[in-house]
A and B are shown apart, each in its own frame.
Chain A
């Protein structure tokens, strides 16, 4: 069981994810380069946060066309696990692996702070160690996390149970129009979604930034640990 972290020019959370996989979860982890046309046999592929290609044109637009993304698509189509975090979410949207698009944050600012997420689904490889309705405190750091799609497609997303994490108030209640709790103005307070098959997950908050006690918060670890556990279970 092997984990790969893709490095695009401008990725800046690649080492953080690698560190958690390699040293906290003690997995076989490697970096994948954006020019690679294979995922080198990795079972889990993570697209990390950052500013791939300087966010030129649109966040994630140019990265979505890089050679490694062809390999990531094939990996996903074959049922392999793909996790996109922040810029990774934007790349997966631009690549068409997940539906919707990101707009600038409603207040036009880069936001870097903790948010509260409600776990909407626990039957996924990425959420199997979580409990339904559990509240996670995880930091965001983005300027374009304002998720949007047409009302019909948002309805379909909800009906298919593809919304995995939602921005909520600390007590877990919905507060979609309150910028304290839905910081970027995302449609239906969507913070993380999955594809129909449930093997591709993307989220704006950064679980890799809160996965060790020394950082004062370990709420994010369960997400990466879930994926690792799911793969270990499958390998047995």
Chain B
């Protein structure tokens, strides 16, 4: 089973990297871009085939290591094999 975990700066926290990217996008012809949050994405392969257990385990991974919940939020999604990017 494959999963994608996305970690990004919490909304209420200023994201200096996202702000710099937004300003650059504005400069190169995308004046409509109002906000960018720059985060990280993890593609994780799991031995488990139980979606509920996998979801629980992935959230546990985020709490323990993948995200720093003081300044970051995370989301977890299970992927069908065809969704996995090369």
Contacts and interface: CB of A to CB of B under 8 A. Distances in A.
Nearest to B66: A57
Interface in A44-91: 57-58, 61, 65
A148 B16 CA distance: 13
A101 B65 contact: no
Interface in B12-27: 13-17, 20
A149 B65 contact: no
B71 A101 contact: yes
A148 B66 contact: no
B13 A148 contact: yes
B6 to A, nearest CB: 14
Contacts, number: 35
B16 A103 contact: yes
A60 to B, nearest CB: 9
Interface string A24-61: 00000000000000000000000000000000011001
Interface in B53-86: 65-66, 68, 70-71
A94 interface: yes
Q: Which 8 residue pairs of A and B lie closest in terms of their CB atoms, listed nearest first?
A: A101-B70, A101-B71, A101-B68, A104-B16, A106-B16, A108-B16, A148-B71, A108-B20
Interface of A: 57-58, 61, 65, 93-94, 99-101, 103-108, 146, 148-150, 185
Given A107-B16, A148-B13, A148-B71, 11 more contacts: A57-B65, A61-B68, A94-B68, A99-B70, A101-B68, A101-B70, A101-B71, A103-B13, A103-B15, A106-B14, A149-B70
22 contacts: A57-B65, A57-B66, A58-B68, A61-B65, A61-B68, A93-B70, A94-B68, A99-B70, A100-B70, A101-B68, A103-B9, A103-B13, A103-B14, A103-B16, A103-B71, A106-B16, A108-B16, A108-B20, A146-B16, A148-B70, A150-B70, A185-B16
